[in-house]
Amino acid sequence: MASRTAVTGVIALGALAALALSSCSGAGSAQPSQGIDGEVSGEVTFVTWRTDLIQDGTFEEYAEQFNAVYPDATVTFEGITDYEGEMRTRLSTTNYGDVLGLPNSVLPDQFADFFEPLGQTEELADKYRFLAPKSYEGVQYGIALGGNANGLIYNKDVFEQAGITELPKTQEEWLDALQQIADNTDAIPLYTNYKDGWPLSQWSGNLGAITGDPDFVNEMAHDDAPWTEGTDIYAIDSLIFESVAAGLTEDDPLTTNWEQSKVDFATGKIATMALGSWAISQMQLAAEDNGIDPEVVGYLTFPATADGTQYAIVGGDYNLAINKNSSVKPAAKAWIDWLIEESGFTETQGMVSPLIADPLPSNLAGLSDEGVELIELNPAPAGEEALFNNIADTSQIDIWGNIYRQKLVDIARGAADGDKASYFAELNERWAAARAEQG
């Protein structure tokens, strides 16, 4: 079972459009509800993407600690492997738990249809990081359970065996480094995790890092040809394409396996994977389970340099939200607050705390040592909160998913017609048409 599932995009975008996440409960209030206030009691169902923390008992321990603080409230857990795919279906009902990770398929202008307002964003901003993505018209609908830097994990031992003495800082250096790994080790230089799909979405977490532009995503919504040399999306997808085309990825992407990839990475059979820093702790655990020093896990930012500086985007993981149909909203809110503020979750998981007062995790020291500057993406301008996602949905280019990148990989490995130039031209055409349709 997968221990972490990002935006999968396995369900066709047409299904997403057909669902359009039309609320079965009608439009919600644009103001924070008073329903969150009240007695903390009842059974809270937490629907989570972190199936690993159910399997290893971590969440049960948290539930016991929470119950000790709130004796009249309990928490039960429901883990979903294909989180995004299944939640699209669940959201057509009222049965999607009391607390859940706010699915990425829900657009900002739909938040009030499904989720309880948690407060005014401006007031919460003094306490929490990562608020912008789940805010709409000044109202907050989700608070990140934790945050991540975005980039790539790498196996330090494999890099040393390959003779790589400096981390790559450009696409050319990246391809050279992967070739050194191919020539001097038995490791797969870059593992795409194509079959599971969702890891391909992780590359999009680097939007803004290539040029050091925290407004890149907002600007892309106003660009008819974003897949043009010099942009962040071009750099990301070009790097993927060139790595695959050069034969520097797994031989048969149709047989990749996420759970096995963690073991293979830890044991030196895989050199690099594009994943958020949330993956560091999972790779370290895989190393420990195989008798390997967890320090073998390294982390680097996307290989690009802008004006002499490298950047990494830091942003929130899944945001915790409350089902607007929940009958235990006070207990649900108490669980969110306790999990974020009292459980020690981000410290044990090596994640960036959403609490501004908390320090950065030690596992990001490697970025600091390399002089990488961490930046957050800027929120969309007022009135454009849903624009980017609406364009992506209309164009059927799942930027936060995996379908269009699976085709990119297929073209690069010769399993589909076309080349990089023709595919990027197609993506630009679809994006421009969607922009025109969105007005």
Same-domain status, 311 and 425? yes
Same-domain status, 95 and 159? no
Same-domain status, 124 and 174? no
Residue 2 in domain:
no
Distance between CA atoms of residues 172 and 192, nearest Å: 19
CA 98 to chain centre: 22
Angle at 147 between CA 350 and CA 347, to 5 degrees: 30
* Residue linked to tokens 């797969």: 188
Residue 186 in domain:
yes
Single pTM value for the model? 0.78
Give how many domains the chain has, as a whole number.
Answer: 2
Distance between CA atoms of residues 420 and 425, nearest Å: 8
Contact residues for 317 (Cβ-Cβ < 8 A; gap 6+): 144, 145, 146, 147, 148, 276, 278, 351
Same-domain status, 395 and 417? yes
Task: With H, G, I as helix, E, B as strand and everything else as coil, classify residue 72.
Answer: coil
Residue 8 in domain:
no
State the DSSP string of 137-161. Answer: TTEE--EES-EEEEEEEEEHHHHHH
Backbone phi and psi for residue 115, each to the nearest 5 degrees, phi listed first? -125, 150
Residue 279 in domain:
yes
* Residue linked to tokens 């790994």: 181
Among 334, 358, 382, identify where a domain stops. Answer: 358
Same-domain status, 237 and 372? yes
Distance between CA atoms of residues 225 and 55, nearest Å: 45
Same-domain status, 26 and 165? no
Same-domain status, 409 and 312? yes
Residue 6 in domain:
no
Q: Which of 128, 103, 129, 126 is nearest to 374 (CA)?
A: 129
Same-domain status, 333 and 275? no
Same-domain status, 86 and 201? no
Distance between CA atoms of residues 310 and 301, nearest Å: 8
Same-domain status, 368 and 431? yes
Residue 372 in domain:
yes
What is the domain range of residue 17?
A: 13-146+317-358
* CATH code of residue 340: 3.40.190.10
Same-domain status, 281 and 413? yes
Among 327, 358, 389, identify where a domain stops. Answer: 358
Backbone phi and psi for residue 317, each to the nearest 5 degrees, phi listed first? -80, -155
| pLDDT the model gives residue 6 | 36
Amino acid identity at 377:
L
Contact residues for 328 (Cβ-Cβ < 8 A; gap 6+): 41, 42, 43, 44, 73, 98
Q: Which of 223, 316, 226 is nearest to 278 (CA)?
A: 316
Same-domain status, 302 and 401? yes
Distance between CA atoms of residues 149 and 163, nearest Å: 26
| pLDDT the model gives residue 363 | 84
Residue 266 in domain:
yes
What is the mean pLDDT of each successive set of 10 residues along the chain, which is 439 residues long?
Answer: 36 31 39 70 96 92 98 97 89 96 90 97 94 91 94 98 97 98 98 94 96 97 98 98 98 95 98 95 94 96 96 93 97 97 90 89 86 91 88 95 96 98 98 95
Among 329, 358, 387, identify where a domain stops. Answer: 358
Residue 38 in domain:
yes
Question: Which pairing describes strands 270-276 and 373-375: parallel, antiparallel, or unpaired?
Answer: unpaired
CB 190 within 8 A of CB 248: yes
- Helix (H) or strand (E) holding 299, with range, is strand 297-300
